[in-house]
Amino acid sequence: MNRSVKTYSTKNFKESFLNLNSQVSKFFDRGDEDFFCLRIEDVVSHAIIPVPPSREECHTLILVLEGYYDLKLGTTEYRVKPGDLIIQQAGKIFSIDRINRENKGFTCHFHPDILIGKSSNQAMSADFEFLNVWEDSLVRFDESRLPFVITLLQRLHIEYTHNQKPDFDIIHAYLLALLSEIKAFTDADEMEAKNATYHLVKRFKRLIHTRVKDNLGVSGFASLLNVSPNHLNKCTKQVAGFSASKLIDETKTMEAKYLLYQTSLTVSEIANELGFFDPSYFSRFFKKYTGQTPVEYRKMIEKS
């Protein structure tokens, strides 16, 4: 039987895989549906297992300090041990068949849009390559870096749980610090043995971010990379799991969100900035990837 993999919002995932009694519900009643930072031990006993192959709209960082955590992420089975961080990237297929209810550590869950904030920008979030679905998911910190990561997760946990209305400016700042610590470690630990296909797609991704406002298309980017469009598409599918054109579209969508959030440009002006000469087509494009029109998305931001 052919079953599709369901993509869950935070709300739907909690309703499906947590026993939301009054004890556990109190941990999530903090005024923001798409962020939480909790101790694993506070929620693991309420988990409903197994979790079938699924996707989430949010990223989840899980740092194990005691015990172990088993899951299948992408095509790899992981046993996350003390001192390990697993990065469950938004959109990446995962499943959980069993759970160790003696786990201790932290789970930090956030929507990609939380990186669109007062002090961040498009280039900054693009730097956190480990949040992309095609990147490695397991980080094993050394003893020099782990205490800093624990401290930042503790600070996020305290801010989230100790106030009925957490200060999301503070959360945003500490989350960026946490992601920057992970980036510093993964950059230093990056293996040089990655193959040529991986490096081509990495160059392609960086080029998209620098030329996102140009209406180049797959052929244009392939020309800049000195490869054929077919080769670029084949490599992107191999590394990312989807087409080169979709990678371009997703990058344009994120840039549109930044412009809607941080500027007073009209929808027509934003469409033009991103290489769309028909604002109506841009609105349809944006709704295809977000479920909202640009106007609806901006109104949502203004209310938040």
Say yes or no to pLDDT of 279 above 80: yes
Token reading at 201: 């797609």
Q: Rounded mean pLDDT of 139-144? A: 91
Contact 130, 182 (CB under 8 A): yes
Residue 127 to residues 130, 132, 182, 200, 218, Cα–Cα distance (Å): 9, 10, 11, 17, 22
In whole angstroms, give the CA distance from residue 55 to residue 67.
Answer: 25
Contact 138, 85 (CB under 8 A): yes
Q: Rounded mean pLDDT of 33-51? A: 91
User: What is the predicted pLDDT for the residue at 219?
Assistant: 96
Say yes or no to pLDDT of 110 above 60: yes
> Domains in the chain, start-ordered, CATH in brackets?
6-189 (2.60.120.280), 196-303 (1.10.10.60)
**What is the overall mean pLDDT for the chain?**
87
User: Where does the chain show beta strands of DSSP type E?
Assistant: 6-8, 35-39, 51-56, 59-66, 69-73, 76-80, 84-88, 94-96, 104-110, 138-140
pTM comes to 0.74
Give the count of alpha carbons within 13 A of 176, CB side only.
Answer: 18
In whole angstroms, give the CA distance from residue 286 to residue 263.
Answer: 17
In whole angstroms, give the CA distance from residue 80 to residue 68.
Answer: 5
Peptide bond into 50 cis (omega under 30): yes
Per-residue pLDDT tens over the stretch 253-264: 988 888 888 788
Q: What contacts 189, CB < 8 A, 6 or more positions away? A: none
Q: Rounded mean pLDDT of 88-114? A: 91
In whole angstroms, give the CA distance from residue 29 to residue 191.
Answer: 41
More confident residue, 187 or 165: 165
User: What is the predicted pLDDT for the residue at 1?
Assistant: 35
In whole angstroms, give the CA distance from residue 100 to residue 108.
Answer: 18
Say yes or no to pLDDT of 58 above 60: yes
Q: What contacts 217, CB < 8 A, 6 or more positions away? A: 245, 248
pLDDT band, very low/low/confident/very high, at 193 (cuts 50, 70, 90): very low
Sheet holding 94-96, edge to edge: 6-8, 51-56, 94-96, 69-73, 76-80
